[in-house]
Amino acid sequence: MSAQDSELMELGGKFIKAFHHMIHTVRIHQENNQLMKECIAEFGKVLAQMAGGEELEMLLWRGRFFLQGEKLLYRRETFPLINEMMEYFPQRGLQGLRFHPTFRKASFKDFIIFARLLDEAAMQEDPPSWLESQLADNGLQWLEILREMDDIPPDIELRRKEKAKQTYLQALTTVKEVAQKVSQRSVAGIRKARRLAQTMVDLVLEDETLMLGLSTIRDYDDYTYTHSVNVALLSMSLGRRIGLSQSFLEQLAICGMFHDLGKVEVPKDIITKPDMLNTGEWEHIRRHPLIGVHRVLRLHASRDMRSRVVLGPFGHHLNYDLSGYPRLHFTETLTLFGKILRIADTYDALTAERAYRPRSFSPDEALRMMWEKVGMEYDPILLKTFINMMGLYPVGTVLKLDSGELGLVVDYPSESERTRPQVLLLVDDGQGSLKGSEELNLADRDQKTGSYERQIVKCLHPSVLGIQPSEFFLKEAS
């Protein structure tokens, strides 16, 4: 989350508080009451700050509260307020409110009328129509009500989520198609892959957290394909962090998508073998980067693109110290793409459920394991950047808190605080599964003691709980 977004969220919290305070106070106090005056003044002030000279739109959609098209994150202090809004607005047949810039000319009295009308609307037969006529009668043209609609177009974030989900699924399909074609010795085009990669780049640039959330998708039965798309997402995100240009991010995405083309030809019984591999089986595994190189040569791509894409299959098992596999004869240095893919590939592989491991590693554990091999297997600078990007508890990690609650890491609201994430509390849905509730920032401190309000007790792999973290990220898009 950028500093600007963080500020918006902060202001959003203030706005919802001020609005809540105002609509409650107006029920109790007269307009000459000091508290009433303070409430209105505060609301006007925050409204002006939020709008910044433009109009301001507050909207409820599918159980989430949006300001200016951005979802307001659930925080402990705002969670009950937002919940209350979930009832307040539907009672009045409203989807939301739009404040036109002329609200700046509105008087203290105008705001009081607006708050009272909102309050009284709940008792009307047709609240929206009544409100519209009342607003007109009172000259409050600066306010527009947004009626409840079934087919309201999704806001920017929801559209982005939907697009992200679709892109992921399409990427998955594309990787499968290409892998199958090249393994049948056919030539496969990459036009579609390029278009998808471009969309993925756009999405990573817009919302890295969302894409990292998507990269937690796991498919136990079809591991290789989800793994390929995940590696593409992780690589691109790391590429973005280190400042690669848009077109290089695209190439990196394609490298990630096709880095395991050679693995498609490894017999499935080897990949899913629960026991130790014998020498012959291990040899199959060791060959897959080279087979991948051969398969990339079958891609119907420009010379330049193919030159880059080859680096994916070839380099993703090569270590920083040039150990690993394949054995090198001509190659003397690692490429940046290879080093990035090495990190992304290992991280995704470690955190995935695999047959040959008694248990999968939680995301934080995977990072720690990788950190132990920094400088040997992984480029130190890139691994540092990767861990900083992921946070010590990467998005998709399930945390057990000292409060007894379970939290799914969904974001790091602050760039400077990468050890205390924002979590979505997971609660028992009563049907043997978990559902999301409020969001908490684990960096929040108790105002009196100054200590953190919650401590992390341990991390759990999502599979322990049988959950797919990405489902919580994409909830609104499903």
Partner 1 sequence: MERFWQQLETFLQAHGNLRFELEKDRLIFQGEAILTEPPEDGNLPFTLFRDGIQWLEFQDGIEAQEIEDFLRILNKYRLLSDEPEGDLVTALWEAELPHIQHHVAEFFWAAEPEAEFTIPPAKEDISSVLSEEEEQEASESEAVAPIDPITLELTPEEEAELQEMVRLEEKRDPTADYLNAVLDSLLELREKENFDPILESLEEEFHDSLARRDFEVTLKILKSLHHVRQICESETTWAIPIIDSFFLTASSSQSLRPLQAAWSEMDAGQIEKMKEILLVLQPEAIHTLGAMLLHTPSLRLQQMLTEVILSLASRDLRPLVAMLDRPEEDLVLKLVQVVGSLGGEKPIQILSKMVHHSSARVREAAVKGLLRRGPDSIKELFHLIDDEDDSVRRLILHHLGQERNEASETLLLQYLEEGNIKGSDDKHIIACFRILGRCGSPRSIPFLRQTLFGKSWMPDLRSPAYRQGAALALKALNIEGAQQVLEDASRSLKPGVRRIARKVMQD
Name the minimum Å distance from CB 60 to partner 1. 26
The C-alpha angle with vertex 172 and arms to 174 and 264, in degrees rounded to 5, equals 80
User: Which residues within the stretch 206-235 sit at the binding site for partner 1 (CB under 8 A)?
Assistant: 217-222, 226
Residues 6 or more apart whose Cβ sits within 8 Å of residue 387: 367, 370, 371, 418
Instruction: Rule CB under 8 A: say whether 181 interacts with partner 1.
Output: no
Gap between the Cα atoms of 175 and 219, Å rounded? 14
Instruction: Rule CB under 8 A: say whether 437 interacts with partner 1.
Output: no
Which helix (H) or strand (E) element contains residue 67?
strand 64-67
User: Which residues within the stretch 110-139 sit at the binding site for partner 1 (CB under 8 A)?
Assistant: none
DSSP codes of every residue in 356-377: TSSSPPPHHHHHHHHHHTBTTT
Nearer to partner 1, 63 or 380 (CB): 380
Span near partner 1 by CB under 8 A; candidates 50-58, 65-73, 131-139, 284-292: 284-292
User: Which residues within the stretch 352-381 sit at the binding site for partner 1 (CB under 8 A)?
Assistant: 353, 359, 361-362, 364-365, 367-369, 371-372, 380-381
User: Which residues within the stretch 64-103 sit at the binding site for partner 1 (CB under 8 A)?
Assistant: none
Nearer to partner 1, 159 or 445 (CB): 159
Per-residue binder mask for partner 1 (CB under 8 A), 325-344, x = binder: -xxxxxxx--xxx-------
DSSP state of 378: B
Name the minimum Å distance from CB 189 to partner 1. 6
Dihedral angle over CA of 391, 392, 397, 402, nearest 10? -120
Applying CB under 8 A, what is the total number of residues that bind partner 1? 98
Gap between the Cα atoms of 362 and 364, Å rounded? 6
- Choose among 271, 277, 306: nearest CA to 292: 306
Name the minimum Å distance from CB 118 to partner 1. 34
Instruction: Rule CB under 8 A: say whether 169 interacts with partner 1.
Output: yes
Instruction: Rule CB under 8 A: say whether 290 interacts with partner 1.
Output: yes
Residue 295 tokens, joined: 């398969």
Name the minimum Å distance from CB 469 to partner 1. 10
Name the minimum Å distance from CB 273 to partner 1. 17
Span near partner 1 by CB under 8 A; candidates 124-132, 138-146, 170-178, 269-277: 170-178
Gap between the Cα atoms of 252 and 446, Å rounded? 43
Nearer to partner 1, 365 or 444 (CB): 365
Q: What is the amino acid identity at position 378?
A: Y
Counting Cβ atoms within 10 Å, is residue 302 exposed (0-12), middle (13-18) or buried (19+)?
exposed
Nearer to partner 1, 18 or 467 (CB): 467
Which residues are 456's β-sheet partners?
401
Q: What is the amino acid identity at position 333?
A: T
User: Binding residue for partner 1 (CB under 8 A) from 3, 122, 297, 322?
Assistant: 297
Instruction: Rule CB under 8 A: say whether 387 interacts with partner 1.
Output: yes
Counting Cβ atoms within 10 Å, is residue 182 exposed (0-12), middle (13-18) or buried (19+)?
buried
Span near partner 1 by CB under 8 A; candidates 20-28, 228-236, 310-318, 341-349: 310-318
User: Binding residue for partner 1 (CB under 8 A) from 245, 272, 278, 323?
Assistant: 245
SS3 76: coil
Span near partner 1 by CB under 8 A; candidates 25-33, 65-73, 96-104, 306-314: 306-314
